[in-house]
Amino acid sequence: MAANSPLPHAKMYRVLYIPELLDMIFGMLDHDSNSNNARVCRQWSEIALDSLWRDVDQLERLFGVLAPLRRVGKDEYEFERLPESDDWKRFEKYAGRVRRLVYHSSADNPKIRKSMFDDVARTRTRIDVLPNMHTLQWYAPLSLCVMFMHAGVKHFSVFLPVELETISPRPFFQDIASRMPKLTSIDFRSDVSVRAIEEEMRGLLAQLPMLRKITFPRYYLTSKIAETLSRLENLGIIEFQYHDEQGCGDPSDMIPFAPEFEKGAFPSLWDHSMTTSFADAARFLDVAYAPPNLTMLYIRFEHYRNPIRDPPHALRRRRELPRTQPGQDGDEFTISIDTLKPVLKLPNLTSLEIIHQHPLALKQEDIEVLAAAWPALETLMLNNEPVHLTSSHLSLDALLPFAKHCTKLHHLGLFLDATSVASPISPSLSLTLTPFTSLKKLSMGVSIIDDDRAVALFLSHLLPEGCTVDCGITWEETEDVQDGIVETVSRRCEAWTKVAKFLPVLVGLRMEERERTRAMERELDDLRMRAEVVRGSQSLANGVRLELNSMCILI
**Does the pLDDT at position 261 exceed 70?**
yes
| 121-179 pLDDT tens trace | 999 999 999 999 999 999 999 999 999 999 999 999 999 999 998 999 999 999 999 99
Which residues are 554's β-sheet partners?
545
Lowest mean pLDDT: which of 223-232, 247-256, 322-331, 349-358?
Answer: 322-331
Alpha helices in 320-416 (DSSP H): 337-340, 364-373, 399-405
CA 355, 358, 359, 361: dihedral to nearest 10 degrees? -110
Look at the chain and report how many structural domains it folds into.
Answer: 2
512 within domain boundaries: yes
Supply the mean pLDDT for the chain. 82
| 85-97 pLDDT tens trace | 999 999 998 899 9
Dihedral sign from CA coordinates of 99, 102, 103, 107: negative
Q: Band of the pLDDT at 554, cuts 50, 70, 90?
A: very low
Q: In what order do the strands lie in the sheet with 69-72?
A: 69-72, 76-79, 111-112
162 within domain boundaries: no
CA geometry: angle 273, 436, 457, nearest 5 deg: 115
pLDDT of residue 359: 92
Closest CA to 208 of 160, 169, 175: 175
227 within domain boundaries: no
CATH of the domain at 383: 3.80.10
**Does the pLDDT at position 421 exceed 90?**
no
Residue 170 CB-half CA count within 13 A:
6
314 within domain boundaries: no
* C-beta separation of 138 from 103 below 8 A: yes
293 within domain boundaries: no
The more confidently predicted of residues 369 and 549 is 369
501 within domain boundaries: yes
pTM across the whole model: 0.70
Lowest mean pLDDT: which of 49-53, 60-64, 216-220, 288-292?
Answer: 49-53
CA distances from 357 to 176, 226, 312, 320 (A): 40, 27, 25, 19
Show Cβ contacts of residue 260 under 8 Å, excluding neighbours closer than 6 positions. 223, 227, 287, 288
The more confidently predicted of residues 490 and 4 is 490
For residue 39, the enclosing domain spans 16-48
**Does the pLDDT at position 333 exceed 70?**
no
Angle of helix 59-66 relative to helix 85-95, nearest 10 degrees? 140
Show Cβ contacts of residue 140 under 8 Å, excluding neighbours closer than 6 positions. 103, 104, 105, 159
